[in-house]
Amino acid sequence: MRDRRAPCRRSPPARSNDRVIAMDTILVVNAGSSSVKFQIFAVDGDGRLQRQIKGQMDGIGSRPRLRASSADGGPLADRAYPIEGVADVSAALEVAGTWLRDELRINPIAVGHRVVHGGPDYERPVRIDHGVVARLERFAQLAPLHQPYNLAPIRSLLANRPDLPQVACFDTAFHRTHGALADHYAVPFQLYAEGVRRYGFHGLSYEYVAKALTQSAPGIANGRVIVAHLGSGASMCGLKEGRSVESTMGFTALDGLPMGTRPGQIDPGVLLYLISEKGMSATNVQSFLYRDCGLKGMSGISNDMRELEASDDPHAILAVEYFIHRIGLNAGMLAAALQGIDAFVFTAGIGENSASIRARIGEKLAWLGVKLDAAENIRHAPLISHPDSRIPVYVVPTDEELMIARHTLSLLMNSQPSSPSRERVS
């Protein structure tokens, strides 16, 4: 049943390439600094979601381009725009929204947004109002590559479409099931009370994987599972009974594994050295850590794992080996936190697509009893471990957008309030 307070506009069936595109629909938005990714999900009469459109507006401020396809990959749009026409994230969303509305006659009943940092206030998705936005703005410095851009389209829609329900879905929320030992730093409690704590990120991805395992591998879904979300942003999470017990990321999305441009775990003394000996300001250090480190910094070549794997440059080789080494170390940490391991899961861009990286990580995990099946790994099978492996190893494609659509529909149907919630994520 629908939220009676929420405007629920049924979009008339629209055709593109001789197919019906949408009925009641939910728009999912994932906004970054130079791109806005979006997806459209149709809602059927039984409240089930069906993906209809995947698209993005990228090259914002440089070479704006709208690309979109249907769920089966059929092209729907590929258009370039002048720079001045798409100067920022809000303008990009407006261009995409105009295309959806005017050409496909899609008028969503709600919009779900990925918001990276929910801070200590939000433990589950929430309906958005101006008060929510004001609270979320406080965490912009904790996720400078994401939070300001996540909030830009939200503000734009609040101003231009105040009647349109919006829902914020947080990358931190899934990890709020952590116990105190995983949640704290060894700093004075006052800082913890102010919000200095280990939040963890990529929660929408881990939540999706945890739910997917109940269908694809029910025998281990409630066990002790390590999930490796390996992409340009990378982290690992220890799950027990489908809930997050420990994560490699902490207060910000800088900690843990080395990433495309972020260093991962680093001695805080290095930061003091950059400030005291190199004369770097806090702003410069922040930019350095988020944009110039990780695989890009180590290799001096690229932040793209595909380029690094193809390179014979010694620095590129070292960067890849370091990435694999740190994953092995963190797997040991998570196994200790879980007091054992019943399964290992790869997900996200590198985890889903690089058989060679998975194979090398599998070798690092041999001490845990992991043994991959080379043929199954190469063909990217859902189960890539050898029958003799003590630990089953899975590849589970993540779907953060579907997770956001599910949360958005749930809040729309159940009339959840927009005030901060202290309930745990279900």
> Which residues are tagged catalytic?
171
Give the three-class secondary structure for 54. Answer: strand
Instruction: Please report the DSSP string for 226-249 in residue order.
Output: EEEEESSSEEEEEEETTEEEEES-
Q: Is residue 69 within 8 Å of residue 53, measured between CB atoms?
A: yes
Q: Is residue 283 within 8 Å of residue 234, measured between CB atoms?
A: no
- CA 28-30-35 angle, 5° bins: 130
How far apart (Å, rounded) are the C-alpha atoms in residues 136 and 114?
12
Half-sphere exposure of 142 (CA within 13 A, CB side): 23
Give the three-class secondary structure for 18. Answer: coil
Burial (CB < 10 A; 0-12, 13-18, 19+), residue 62, is: exposed
394 beta partners: 345, 383
39 beta partners: 28, 54
- Which amino acid makes up residue 119? G
* Nearest of 154, 55, 58 to residue 104 by alpha carbon: 55
The count of other CB atoms within 10 Å of the CB of residue 269 is: 8
